[in-house]
Structure 1
Amino acid sequence: MSNAPQKIENPILPGFNPDPSICRVGDDYYIATSTFEWFPGVQIHHSKDLKHWRLVTRPLTRPEQLDMRGNPDSCGIWAPCLTYADGLFWLVYTDVKRKDGSFKDAHNYIVTAPNIEGPWSDPVYTNSSGFDPSLFHDDDGRKWHLNMIWDHRVGTNSFAGIALQEFDPAAGKLTGPIRNIFKGTPLGLVEGPHLYKRDGWYYLLTAEGGTGYDHAVTLARSRHIEGPYEVHPDTHVVTSRLDPDNPIQRSGHGDIVETQSGETYLVHLMGRPRLGQNRCQMGRETSIQKCVWGEDGWLRLEAGGVAPERQVKAPDLPAHPFPEEPDRHDFDAPDLPMVFQWLRTPCPDRIFSLNARPGHLRLFGRESVGSWFEQALVARRQTGYDYEAETLVDFQPENAQQTAGLIAYYGRSQFFCLAITEDHDLGRVLTLLTCPGDAADGTLRTPLDTPVLLPENGSVGMKVTVEGMALRFWYRTGEADWQRVGPAFDATLLADEAAGRGAHGNFTGAFVGMHAMDTSGQGKAADFDYFSYRNLE
């Protein structure tokens, strides 16, 4: 009798983990997801049963592979594609330098590695004609590069179709004609292509409808790789757009995998809006659905229809759980725990150290909160509606331009920060630096009438809680009890949909972590003794 788990609960990758690309190598499954402006680039999770997942690597770690200094919010790594062929892992990704207005500056690259944990090669540049690149390895040994085509011209369809061009791995470049093989369905906004071959058919899976509440997974097929492609008789394989009460929304941008025994699963991005609100604090997450191939050769959800399920039947595989991520990190190891990331820069030694003061994470105050170049912010994803996070910071500011503390962060105009700083009249104080998302330029609000006076020396405990829609900060010194500071903020403001542009303009998710700023340019250091996080649900 199989000891496989009976059900898989969605999302399988909670918290900001969008645009999943799935790959099976023997008994191992890997999912790559977008990381946008967060460094290192691309998250890769590993599983053996499609239910339990662990983060194993972020392969883009070097300046030669990725430098996002200057990238605006929600730019950077878009929609990676992970495949395995010829004894190598192949990772295709976009580094987006501009997304606003008529233009998209989107550069596509390929890196390879013999093992999932590396070493990963320097990148090979492919093109910049659009984003969401993928690589298809045909059974005749040829390799094909796909990406959506971006058309900036006035009066045209910006999402102009799916480009196909052969990739020559020996020459390290694209070669031959460029063909637009699929212009999408009337839903529009065709992107996220993945190509497969089955029973003599080429199947093209795409995303349509934009990454908001009209999102969908669309399937088409052709006997020839260059087309023409006929659309699925149901058009879409997965979408929540016609099911507004489904707890899984924004369903789209999928990829397919087949298990060792021939079962088929589709992974796709999803969002979990708070009940009664179209705001997804965890951003876009990864979900999985059980599928079947019909007698007509088309893929459909095993459950029927196109609406995603919160619980799906697990594959016939032995259960393989992994150790749980600890709630608390004491920064005793030489490397930053993998749960944390930072923003944009490939030069982490400029913003933090784990050996400058043993047992502490030292942040070197750099540019302002919301800088697109170099800010010292180390944070982890919010993975549940309600949570509690805590840290202990030792910081002795010398002027008001130096701050350090605990931050709940979405982007340069969406954050809430509790910080130690210097007040000319009072000395060392506690203040709040907030941007509630109503000013795209990141203009600060001052929710405290007067700062909170702190002792001249000593560490300060800081805590943030999110319960319901209320985000609250707390502090303490020494062995004192926790004290509330400031008002209750609207936690749902840290969401894709909350900054006035809707889900089509913002693509990441809420983080919580540690921040240091020194706009005087002196690089004042702050030491964090530990960081803890736990979901309250």
Structure 2
Amino acid sequence: MRIPPLILLLMLAGLLSLHGEKTLPTNSPDQKDASLPNPSPVITKAKAFNPIIPGFHPDPSICRVGDDYFLATSSFEYFPGVPIFQSKDLIHWKTIGHALQRKDQLDLTHARCDGGIFAPTLRFHKGTFYMVTTLTSPVSGSANQKGDFIVTATNPAGPWSSPHWIDKANGIDPSLFFDDDGCVYMCGNMKPENLLNEKHRVIWIQRLNLTTWQLEGPQGILDSAPYFTSGKLGSVSNFEGPHLYKKDGFYYLLLSHGGTGKNHAVSIWRSSTPLGPWEENPANPILTQRMEMKDRTPGITCTGHADLVQGTDGRWWMVFLGVRGEDGNSPMGRETFLEPVDWSGIWPIVNPSHTGRTDFTIDSPDPGNTNPVTGKFRTNFKDRSLSPEWSMIRTPDAPWWSFPKEGGSISLQLRPDEITGSNQPSFLGIRITEPNCMASTSVSITPTSPEECAGLAIERSSVACWSLVVENPGNGPQVSVFEGTNRLAFTTIKADANIDLRITMKFPNLDFSFKQDSKNWKTITSCDAPAIATAPPGHFTGAMIGLYASSRGKESDQRANFDCFEYNPDLR
């Protein structure tokens, strides 16, 4: 849960409001600056609140360019792929675009739920941004190959290049490191030839040629096998999410392990060369919220998949994913968290005041600023474009949305694809950011066949989805509530009029209501929907809520017009 509003207001009293400044990147160091000091985190009066980017935003990767921070997260089967965020203070983040916005970059045709784009790494070097990620299988019928690829840009808001596919880059979770001698290294995880068990993985590191986009030279390996046999690190399955750094003449290899569930953790090694051999930090893991940790903050689990960045003042910070909730079940899925890091010694210490643990409240990176809880979203589409907050399921072949009038509204084409299928439905969604929230819209549609419908939908996957739609099964227009393809309830309405629709979530309950020629909302039905928050591992995304239109398996020339959309997280 978030901080209660009254307490929040007291903590915010006298603090500066958030800034809205946006600057373009300059040619500055990416992860570290050798001229900066390495002080311990200082205690500040201002507080910041985790998660710093609420909603389904897992696997964060971060870099600093001058005074600006840029961050990328995983997007899985959603399009556009890999959202890019910008901040000046590490706590106020704005979505400025996506690295993968075109079908030639990302074809997610028939991508399975929780498939598609896995963890990205975002880096900056000599005027160019690099984003490396993995397109996973199965993506049957896709024009794209699967595997690791890199796209580049001079402006993180885009445009980004076409993919450079990296041959022989095995596994997932690739990362890049630019050494000060001009060499570039790529690392990732993979299955070894001699598997101890199905969760045995190794981390590989190899030099990358940025002219040919090919891996070259010998390969360094950090194998998890010794930790399986010794029992060290607690849970050592699935070595993944590696990142390389260089500090004080040593190379540091940060990685995650233990899987994406409650045993998730982060550990670190160092070496005098980028390929190893690797010396283990005796204090590993440096970040975890495992249930057996008696001193951990209740309500945060599954922390891992981290990246480090040095701030403009020399202090270090870690971004990582986490899940709100004791059981790991959260409709928001895995979100982006932040903790300070003391790297004044040989090894980094995460959150020194609560070593290795994650807290909801931290000292603000900016002593004069905090991040007030917001998350409201409203649009009437007057700018005749989709803002970066919107996502769709898989890659569209052609636009099925348009903006029919200057005064504002969006029109969605009714197409045969449904949110319960594996194709590309007419669905525009935003990420759920709180367990209690509300979304509403005003829709105009005149169904001419029983298959045509339009309204609101909330979904976590094709098997965990609910919709509130206007339809006409043959007896006249009605507003119906569906769980998947099963109609739960309906109520008749007048024809040829705008209908206001609303879905309210007080997790795990969903309430479906409407109004027509009335000031009062009328509930059609409510239901429990625990599947909207299925916990990892195996479920990597979070819930989306938004606009939906379908002709449910039949061709149609119909369109549905939506005058507005509003999302309001209830923080009480």
TM over 0.5: yes
| Shift in Å, 1:106 | 4.9
1:523-534 map, 5 Å: 523-534=557-568
Q: How far did 1:322 drift?
A: 11
What is the distance in 1 between the residues matched to 2:54 and 2:174?
A: 24
User: Paired residue for 1:37, among 66, 73, 77?
Assistant: 77
Q: 2:532 aligns with which of 494, 499, 502?
A: 494
TM-superposed deviation, 1:326: 5.6
Question: Aligned AA for 2:176?
Answer: L
Q: Which residue of 2 aligns with 1:422?
A: 472
User: Cα offset for 1:122?
Assistant: 1.0
Equivalences for 1:59-208 in 2 at 5 Å? 59-98=99-138, 106-127=146-167, 129-150=170-191, 156-183=197-224, 185-186=227-228, 187=235, 188-208=237-257
Contact in 2 for aligned 1:48/1:320 (Cα 8 Å) = no
Which SS does the other structure have where 1:493 is aligned? helix
Correspondence for 2:315: 263
Bigger drift between 59-68 and 303-312 goes to 303-312
Other structure's SS at 2:456 match: strand
Assess, with a 3 A threshold, how the Cα gap between structure 1 residues 514 and 23 changes in structure 2: closer, same or farther.
same
Instruction: Give the 3 Å change call, closer, same or farther, for CA 92–317 of structure 1 in structure 2.
Output: farther
Is 1:515 aligned to 2:548, yes or no? yes
Distance, in Å, in 1 between the alignment partners of 2:560 and 2:366 is: 50
Equivalent residue, structure 2, for 1:474: 513
> In 2 relative to 1, CA 304–327 (structure 1 residues): closer, same or farther, beyond 3 Å?
closer
Query: Whole-Å Cα distance in 1 between the matches of residues 260 and 146 of structure 2?
Result: 18
Write out per-residue CA displacement over residues 465-520 of structure 1, whole angstroms, 9 at most, x where no aligned residue.
1125321000111235211112x2224321132xxxxx111100011111111121
Contact 1:421 1:429 in 2 (8 A): yes
Give 3-state SS (helix, strand or coil) of 1:234's partner.
coil
Specify the alignment match of 2:27 in structure 1.
none
Indicate the SS of the match to 2:313: coil
For 2:97, the equivalent position in structure 1 comes to: 57
In structure 2, relative to structure 1, the CA distance for the partners of 1:179 and 1:346 (3 Å cut) is farther
Asked whether the 8 Å contact 1:93–1:133 carries over to 2, the reply is yes
Relative to 1, partners in 2 of residues 1:363 and 1:151: Cα closer, same or farther, differing over 3 Å? farther
Q: Which runs of 5+ in 1 are unaligned?
A: 100-104, 436-443, 498-502
- Matches of 2:72 and 2:568 in 1, distance apart? 24
Equivalent residue for 1:440?
none
Distance 1:153 1:521 in 2: 52
AA paired with 1:203? Y
One-letter amino acid of the structure 2 residue matched with residue 495 of structure 1: A
SS of corresponding position for 1:97: coil
Paired residue secondary structure (2:556): coil
CA distance in 2, matches of 1:56, 1:324: 18
| 2:36 matched residue in structure 1 | none
After superposition, the Cα gap between the structure-2 partners of 1:116 and 1:218, relative to the gap in structure 1 and judged at 3 Å, is same
1: CA distance, partners of 2:454 / 2:358: 43
> Could you say what secondary structure the match of 2:524 adopts?
strand
1:2-59 superposed Cα distances (whole Å, 9 cap, x missing partner): 9787222100000001000010001001111111111111111111111211111112
Q: Is the 8 A contact 2:59 2:320 kept in 1?
A: yes
Q: CA separation in 2, counterparts of 1:415 and 1:152? A: 40
Give how far 1:324 is off.
6.7
For residue 182 of structure 1, report the CA deviation from its aligned partner: 3.9
Cα root mean square deviation, aligned: 2.5
Specify which structure has the higher proportion of strand: 1
SS of residue matched to 1:58 = strand
1:221 aligns with 2:281: no
Q: CA deviation at 1:79?
A: 0.7
- Asked if the contact 1:336/1:354 (under 8 Å) is kept, the reply is no
AA partner of residue 550 (structure 2): M
- Choose 283-292 or 120-129, whichever is displaced more: 120-129
Moved more, 11-20 or 415-424: 415-424
Query: CA deviation digits over 1:231-270, x for unaligned, max 9?
Result: 2112111100034752221110000000122101111100
Q: Alignment partner of 1:78: what SS?
A: coil
The secondary structure found in structure 1 opposite 2:137 is strand
Normalising by structure 1, report the TM-score.
0.90
**How far apart are 1:157 and its partner, in Å?**
3.8
The Cα shift of 1:361 comes to 1.3
**Larger deviation: 517-526 or 377-386?**
517-526
Greater Cα shift, 43-52 or 148-157: 148-157
Are 1:247 and 2:299 counterparts? yes
Q: Deviations over 1:155-203 (max 9, x none)?
A: 6444421121211111222223344334374422110010001111111
Aligned partner of 1:18 among 41, 58, 63: 58
Task: Evaluate the alpha carbon distance shift between residue 143 and residue 222 of structure 1 in structure 2; reply closer, same or farther with a 3 A threshold.
Answer: same
- Return closer, same or farther for 1:482/1:389 CA change in 2, 3 Å cut-off: same
Distance 1:162 1:472, change over 3 A: same
In 1, the alpha carbon distance for the partners of 2:85 and 2:45 equals: 19
> In the TM superposition, what is the alpha-carbon distance from 1:98 to its structure 2 partner?
3.0
In structure 1, which of residues 289, 292, 303 is the aligned counterpart of residue 353 of structure 2?
Answer: 303
**Closer, same or farther: CA 59–355 of 1 in aligned 2, 3 Å:** farther
Cα contact 2:375–2:433 (8 A) shared by 1: no
Query: Which residue identity is paired with 2:124?
Result: Y
> Whole-Å Cα distance in 2 between the matches of residues 317 and 108 of structure 1?
40
Which residue of structure 1 aligns with residue 25 of structure 2? none
Moved more, 303-312 or 74-83: 303-312
Distance 1:126 1:355, change over 3 A: farther
SS at structure 1 position matched to 2:503:
strand
Distance 1:296 1:67 in 2: 44
* Contact kept in structure 1, 2:74 and 2:82, CA below 8 Å: yes
The sequence identity of aligned pairs, in percent, is 31
**Cα deviations by residue, 1:79-115 (Å, 9 ceiling, x for unpaired):** 100011021011111111239xxxxx95111011111
Say whether 1:461 aligns with 2:511.
no
Q: Which residue does 2:7 correspond to in 1?
A: none
The one-letter amino acid of 1:258's match is Q
TM-superposition CA deviations, 1:131-153 (whole Å, max 9, x none): 11111111111111111114699
- Provide structure 2 residue ranges, at least 5 long, that are not aligned to the other structure: 1-14, 17-43, 140-144, 229-234
- Structure 1 residue 325 displacement after superposition: 6.4
Task: Give the partner amino acid of 1:255.
Answer: D
Tell me if the contact between 1:131 and 1:147 (Cα under 8 Å) persists in the aligned partners: yes
1:484 and 2:523 equivalent?
yes
Deviation larger for 388-397 or 169-178: 169-178
Structure 1 match to 2:392: 342
Mapped contact 1:148–1:159 kept (Cα < 8 A): no
Query: Partners in 2 of 1:359 and 1:166 — Cα distance?
Result: 52
Bigger mean CA deviation after superposition, 280-289 or 184-193: 184-193
Specify whether residues 491 and 323 from structure 1 end up closer, same or farther in structure 2 by C-alpha distance, changes over 3 A only.
Answer: closer
Question: For the structure 1 residues 212 and 358, does the alpha-carbon distance in structure 2 shift closer, same or farther, using more than 3 Å as the test?
Answer: same
- Is 1:392 aligned with 2:426? no
